[in-house]
């Protein structure tokens, strides 16, 4: 009888993937992103665990609206909003002794900026930086990522930047040459809100402990510099996902 006939099993269809990540696992706000002619792949969820992702939160600090406050200890950047809220972004920061201090002002902004090592970098780590003395043009291979905010003090360039990065492991840790790194998705999000002349304040360790708590104020680890050749860098631009590209700037 037909009612007793066995219904054939239908094989489950494999889940769609983007850049090797199942669509169901892609974190909201960190998916495939087309920007200015460049394609950014989704950020793998392993880099976005816990607090290591962009969040809109009640602002716990004391700075006025329209200020960027950076906590290099808890590895957060806050964009302070006028309603007691703030966007909080996870960041990568400079190794101890190389980090930004005090107060600066954003005086220039750039989309998909190129990068050239400073004279200081060339003196300090010639093995790392000399192959890139002539610079890296803007694009997927640039260590400054999708956007850069240039920090000035007293009208002079500090050579510190708030910028994107392809070195996803560095976010939530320290190991850059001193600049403030964000996921490319996050620096694009921040860039559109922040005008030139924005004040950038650096939180002290004591302030971080008071506001974030001792455990959070000691978040992350120090990463060793990653040495990469120009051939690896530019082959990576065309042949690898962005999350596999280590920054030429030695986590700079």
Give me the CATH number covering residue 185.
2.40.440.10
Residue 102 falls inside a structural domain: yes
pLDDT band for position 237 (50/70/90)?
very low
Q: What's the CA gap between 63 and 249, in Å, rounded?
A: 31
Q: At CA 108, angle to CA 104 and CA 112, rounded to 5?
A: 120
Average pLDDT of the residues of the chain: 87
Q: Which of these is catalytic: 163, 185, 189, 240?
A: 163
pLDDT band for position 175 (50/70/90)?
confident
Count of domains observed in the chain? 1
Question: For the chain, where are the E strands, in sequence order?
Answer: 17-18, 21-22, 33-35, 38-40, 55-58, 68-71, 76-80, 85-90, 93-94, 103-111, 147-153, 156-165, 174-176, 180-183, 199-202
Residue 125 falls inside a structural domain: yes
pLDDT in tens, 53-106: 999 999 999 999 999 999 999 999 999 999 999 999 999 998 865 688 899 999
- pLDDT for 58 equals 98
Residue 251 falls inside a structural domain: no
Q: Which of these is catalytic: 4, 179, 185, 240?
A: 179
Residue 74 falls inside a structural domain: yes
Domain boundaries, position 64:
39-244
Q: What's the CA gap between 29 and 183, in Å, rounded?
A: 11
179 is catalytic: yes
Which tokens hold the place of 40? Answer: 């950014």
pLDDT in tens, 180-212: 999 999 999 999 999 999 999 999 999 999 999
163 is catalytic: yes
């Amino acid at each position: 009888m037909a009612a007793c006939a066995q219904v054939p099993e239908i094989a489950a269809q494999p889940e769609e993937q983007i850049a090797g990540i199942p669509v169901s696992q892609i974190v909201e706000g960190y998916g495939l992103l087309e920007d200015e002619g460049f394609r950014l792949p989704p950020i793998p969820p392993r880099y976005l665990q816990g607090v290591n992702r962009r969040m809109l939160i009640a602002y716990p600090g004391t700075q006025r609206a329209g200020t960027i406050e950076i906590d290099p200890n808890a590895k957060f950047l806050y964009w302070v909003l006028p309603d007691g809220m703030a966007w909080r972004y996870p960041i990568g920061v400079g190794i101890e002794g190389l980090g930004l201090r005090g107060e600066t002002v954003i005086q220039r902004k750039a989309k998909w900026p190129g990068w050239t090592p400073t004279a200081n970098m060339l003196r300090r780590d010639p093995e790392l930086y000399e192959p890139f003395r002539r610079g890296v043009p803007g694009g997927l291979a640039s260590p400054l990522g999708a956007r850069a905010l240039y920090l000035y003090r007293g009208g002079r360039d500090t050579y510190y930047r708030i910028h994107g990065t392809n070195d996803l492991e560095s976010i939530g840790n320290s190991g850059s040459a001193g600049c403030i790194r964000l996921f490319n998705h996050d620096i694009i999000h921040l860039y559109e809100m922040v005008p030139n002349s924005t004040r950038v304040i650096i939180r002290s360790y004591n302030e971080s402990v008071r506001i974030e708590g001792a455990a959070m104020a000691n978040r992350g680890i120090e990463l060793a510099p990653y040495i990469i050749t120009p051939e690896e860098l530019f082959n990576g631009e065309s042949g690898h996902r962005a999350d596999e590209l280590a920054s030429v700037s030695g986590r700079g």
